[in-house]
Amino acid sequence: MKYEPRIYRNDLSEGRFHYFNVTEEESDLQIGVGAKEYNDRIHKRTSEMVKSLRDQLKNYILQHPDFLNSHRPVEVDDLAPEIAGLMIKHSVAANVGPMAAVAGAFAELIGTQLCKEFDLKELIVENGGDLWIKAMKPVTVRIDAGPSSLSGLIGIEIQQEQTPCGICTSSGSTGHSFSYGKADAVTVVSEFASAADAWATSMCNRIHAKEDLRKEVTLSQRISGITGVVAIMQEAVAVSGNITIKKV
């Protein structure tokens, strides 16, 4: 997988958070730490965690090659490292391959551990556009919907009491990730970023026409752990759940 520059990062606001990047082979994360909480040890520790998680996952894939390429769930493995186990768990629930949850799983594990080790009150971990957030005040996440006329115009306002949470997006029209669907964006908010990632892929796979948007977001209300969903295709949008939508 080739490196892709994260153009949307230019939109991130300065002041409230101190941002830094961590790149390790294909992994490219941007971390936002509360400006008054940041210190250089956080940057160093993040780099260590990214490398460790990558090594764990690569070693597991060497032993289980289907894990990398399967578009369907793989068998639950109680001996898998934490990151692989997390990906398997949520991909089984969403009926997708485990790699559908990889970006969210990285963001979730890194965010959770950084907050634990450094007692952080505010943190954003962005991995390929997928997010794990812990916040003390509202945070608005802009939705990139590729060629849709609504791209960049809609945001989800995440409230303090909804964090920590994951916000992940899947698209059938843009980006490097494979999708069976044609939605320009399906953004899922969940208490777990790995779950949000897997379910965003799953829902996007089933959207082939604008008429499918409402059906998918309505079905999402039955899924445990999902806070809300925004689905966009061309000029059409459907929303469900306990989320606040804003113009941005």
Whole-number pLDDT of residue 185: 97
- Locate the domains of the chain by residue range: 7-247
Whether residue 194 contacts residue 92, with contact meaning beta carbons closer than 8 Å, is answered with: no
Q: What is the DSSP letter of 241?
A: E
CA distances from 233 to 80, 150, 181, 184 (A): 37, 9, 10, 5
> DSSP character for 81?
-
Rounded CA separation 195/204 (Å): 14
pTM of the full structure: 0.93
DSSP conformation letters of 85-96: HHHHHHHHHHTS
Q: What pLDDT is stored for residue 178 in this prediction?
A: 86
CA 170 to CA 177: how far, in whole Å? 8
Q: Identify the pLDDT of residue 10.
A: 45
Planar angle of CA 28, 230, 109, nearest 5 degrees? 35
Q: Residues with Cβ < 8 Å from 35, sequence gap 6 or more?
A: 15, 16, 17, 18
The CATH number that domain 7-247 falls under is 3.10.520.10
Structure-token pair, residue 194: 């790995």
Q: How far apart are CA 61 and CA 23, in angstroms?
A: 21
pLDDT per residue rounded down to tens, the chain (248 residues): 233 434 344 445 568 999 999 999 888 999 999 999 999 999 999 999 999 999 999 999 999 999 999 999 999 999 999 999 999 999 999 999 999 999 999 999 999 999 999 999 999 999 999 999 999 999 999 999 999 999 999 999 999 999 999 999 999 998 878 899 999 999 999 999 999 999 999 999 999 999 999 999 999 999 999 999 999 999 999 999 999 999 98
- 178 φ, ψ (degrees, to nearest 5): -75, 145
Q: How far apart are CA 99 and CA 189, in angstroms?
A: 18
DSSP states of 138-202 as a string?
A: -EEEE---TTSTTTTTEEEEE-GGG-SEEEEEE-SSSSSS--SS--SEEEEEESSHHHHHHHHHH
